């Protein structure tokens, strides 16, 4: 579809940037915070790149005012952050930690004072370790009540000032790593348990949305989904089937359930034949269907291209966590699909396909299938950056990436997509869960590496000045 002229970005478009608690805050054991599963996991040898962890991260907990001042200077109109569950409920439930709650009060108030809309993520992967120990975190149905109580605490405390909320961040990506690839805690590879944990997480997501309706009736809430639109490797029917399988099993399984409260039937039948489908109790599907989100949060980084995978074909493989280009193997599910490089697309040093048109396709597919507004809750480029003399970082590659993805957003708006805003990943440099500190995403460079926290100095990159101009022009000057 070619447009002769493009629609402008709407006046109330959210020009944002994003982060997550564990990746920026540090202060992992300060002011009464309890441990999360990540605080424990990163201490196990070999789990993360060079043993990197978020003990200090970029020390946002202590430098919040400085970071918000930089956001204001840049002209952001939205900032997406997550609350650390064990910072506010050290044991996951029960007594709240007032110091933790007060930190987010200060952050929210500082943002509002600058005219920056807070976008609060309830869960960005830092399950309280206490609940993991007690009943297996997402594997125990008790988490539905505990997560609901935690969310209600935040709705009551911040709902007067925060109107845009994200429920679960990337349930699909996080639980795939946690229960299939063994790369996030609790590091298992068991498909039956994977689907069981997802089913419970869906119910917890639904509980949160139901409570939100009562406690923040004038707010809007939705999950953030890691959406990698599928492409077929060729027009061979077997590749089309592989593509279809990938859409069902890697995308619709989550999106259909969030938006319609139903599992894709072909995928469900396949899992039932293998005894791997989740146990669905009476009332579960009704609870899911009754909790339709207000919008879809879209985390978009790349598309994936699929080809046929025979029953004795390749299984799931770890991703590239070193930045050594070309080190990602083909990965798949025997009998369903496997990934293959797309010869049409350039890739980053971490082998992520750079595909702005894929973002437009993602936005169009979401709009046509679910008829909901979309908020881009993450999009950005992780790359090696070089701090040069005079505190300069010339990240032209990041500007190019973001410019092309924002241009794709404008095409999608012109296609009829109700796009609420764009939160670039990330505002400052941050800890990348498995890739350490060398895979940088920020507009603001942070002077630290994997093992040496140095002075944690903030340095504006070229992309900082570029995004400031984009925002000031309302997206007219990309």
Nearer to ligand BGP, 439 or 458 (CB): 439
Is 429 a binder of ligand BGP (CB under 6 A)?
A: no
Alpha-carbon span 431 to 331, nearest angstrom: 25
- Report the nearest approach of ligand BGP to the CB of residue 435 (Å): 5
Is 53 a binder of ligand BGP (CB under 6 A)?
A: no
Is 228 a binder of ligand BGP (CB under 6 A)?
A: no
Is 36 a binder of ligand BGP (CB under 6 A)?
A: no
Nearer to ligand BGP, 22 or 263 (CB): 22
Among 53, 121, 299, 309, binds ligand BGP (CB under 6 A): 299
Give 235-255 as a DSSP string: S-HHHHHHHHHHIIIIIIHHH
* Contact code string over 399-428 relative to ligand BGP, x by CB under 6 A: --------------------------x---
- The answer for residues whose C-beta is within 8 angstroms of residue 93's C-beta and 6 or more apart is 131, 146, 149, 150
Query: Considering only CA atoms, which of 249, 456, 233, 439 is closest in space to residue 349?
Result: 439
Is 81 a binder of ligand BGP (CB under 6 A)?
A: no
Alpha-carbon span 478 to 470, nearest angstrom: 6
Among 47, 439, 448, 458, binds ligand BGP (CB under 6 A): 439
* Contact code string over 367-396 relative to ligand BGP, x by CB under 6 A: -----------x---x--------------
Among 432, 445, 461, 470, binds ligand BGP (CB under 6 A): 432
Is 435 a binder of ligand BGP (CB under 6 A)?
A: yes
Residue nearest to ligand BGP (CB): 432
3 state DSSP class of 177: helix
- Report the nearest approach of ligand BGP to the CB of residue 349 (Å): 11
Alpha-carbon span 221 to 3, nearest angstrom: 32
- The answer for residues whose C-beta is within 8 angstroms of residue 348's C-beta and 6 or more apart is 325, 354, 381, 382, 383
- The answer for residues whose C-beta is within 8 angstroms of residue 443's C-beta and 6 or more apart is 17, 74, 424, 427, 428, 460, 461, 463, 464, 467
- Report the nearest approach of ligand BGP to the CB of residue 20 (Å): 5
Please, which residues bridge with residue 92 across strands?
none
- Please give the size of the binding site for ligand BGP, defined by CB under 6 A: 15
Alpha-carbon span 258 to 371, nearest angstrom: 13
- Report the nearest approach of ligand BGP to the CB of residue 103 (Å): 20
Is 20 a binder of ligand BGP (CB under 6 A)?
A: yes
CB atoms within 10 A of CB 285: 16
Alpha-carbon span 417 to 318, nearest angstrom: 34
Distance from first CA to last CA of the chain, Å, rounded? Answer: 21
Q: Which of 139, 378, 388, 411 is catalytic?
A: 378
Q: Is there a catalytic annotation at residue 378?
A: yes
Is 320 a binder of ligand BGP (CB under 6 A)?
A: no
User: What is the token pair recorded at 197?
Assistant: 């944990």
Nearer to ligand BGP, 319 or 453 (CB): 319
CB-CB contact of 267 with 301 (8 Å): no
Where is 36: in which H helix or E strand? Answer: none
3 state DSSP class of 137: helix
Among 39, 146, 170, 395, binds ligand BGP (CB under 6 A): 170
Is 169 a binder of ligand BGP (CB under 6 A)?
A: yes
Is 86 a binder of ligand BGP (CB under 6 A)?
A: no
- Report the nearest approach of ligand BGP to the CB of residue 462 (Å): 20
Give 182-222 as a DSSP string: S-STT----HHHHHHHHHHHHHHHHHHHHHHHHH-TT-EEE
* Contact code string over 207-226 relative to ligand BGP, x by CB under 6 A: -------------------x
Interface positions with ligand BGP (CB under 6 A): 20, 23, 169-170, 173, 226, 299, 378, 382, 425, 432-435, 439
Q: Which residues are catalytic?
A: 378
């Amino acid at each position: 579809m070619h447009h002769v002229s493009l629609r402008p970005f709407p006046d109330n478009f959210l020009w944002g940037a994003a982060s997550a608690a564990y990746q920026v805050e540090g202060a992992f054991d300060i002011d009464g915070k309890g441990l999360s599963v990540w605080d424990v996991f990163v201490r196990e040898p070999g789990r993360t790149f060079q043993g990197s962890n978020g003990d200090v991260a970029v020390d946002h907990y202590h430098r919040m005012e400085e970071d918000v001042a930089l956001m204001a200077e840049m002209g952001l109109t939205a900032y997406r952050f997550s609350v650390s569950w064990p910072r506010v409920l050290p044991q996951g439930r029960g007594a709240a930690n007032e110091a933790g709650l007060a930190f987010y009060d200060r952050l929210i108030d500082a943002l509002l004072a600058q005219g920056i809309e807070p976008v609060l993520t309830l869960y960005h992967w830092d399950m309280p370790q206490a609940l993991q120990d007690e009943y297996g975190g997402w594997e125990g149905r008790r988490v539905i009540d505990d997560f609901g109580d935690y969310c209600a605490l935040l709705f009551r405390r911040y709902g007067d000032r925060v109107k845009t909320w994200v429920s679960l961040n990337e349930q699909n990506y996080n639980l795939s790593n946690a229960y299939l690839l063994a790369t996030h805690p609790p590091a298992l590879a068991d498909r039956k348990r994977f689907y069981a944990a997802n089913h419970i997480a869906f119910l917890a997501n639904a509980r949160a949305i139901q409570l939100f309706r009562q406690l923040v009736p004038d707010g809007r809430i939705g999950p953030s989904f890691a959406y990698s639109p599928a492409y077929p490797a060729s027009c061979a029917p077997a590749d089309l089937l592989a593509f279809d399988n990938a859409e069902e099993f890697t995308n619709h399984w989550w999106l259909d359930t969030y938006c319609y409260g139903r599992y894709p039937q072909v995928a469900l039948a396949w899992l039932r034949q293998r005894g791997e489908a989740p146990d669905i109790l009476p009332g579960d599907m009704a609870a899911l269907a009754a909790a339709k989100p207000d919008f879809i949060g879209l985390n978009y980084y790349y598309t994936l291209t699929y080809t046929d995978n025979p029953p004795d074909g390749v299984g799931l493989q770890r991703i590239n966590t070193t930045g050594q280009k070309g080190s990602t193997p083909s990965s798949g599910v025997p009998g369903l699909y496997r990934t293959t490089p797309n010869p049409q697309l350039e890739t980053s040093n971490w082998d992520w396909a750079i595909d702005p048109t894929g973002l437009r396709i993602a936005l169009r597919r979401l709009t046509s299938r679910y008829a909901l507004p979309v908020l881009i809750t993450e999009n950005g480029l992780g790359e090696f950056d070089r701090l040069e003399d005079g505190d300069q970082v010339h990240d032209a590659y990041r500007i190019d990436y973001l410019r092309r993805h924002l241009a794709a957003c404008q095409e999608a708006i012109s296609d009829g997509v109700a796009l609420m805003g764009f939160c670039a990943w990330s505002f400052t440099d941050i800890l990348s869960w498995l890739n350490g500190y060398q895979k940088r995403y920020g507009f603001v460079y942070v002077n630290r590496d994997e093992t040496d926290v140095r002075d944690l100095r903030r340095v504006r990159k070229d992309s900082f000045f570029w995004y400031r101009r984009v925002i000031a022009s309302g997206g007219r000057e990309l």
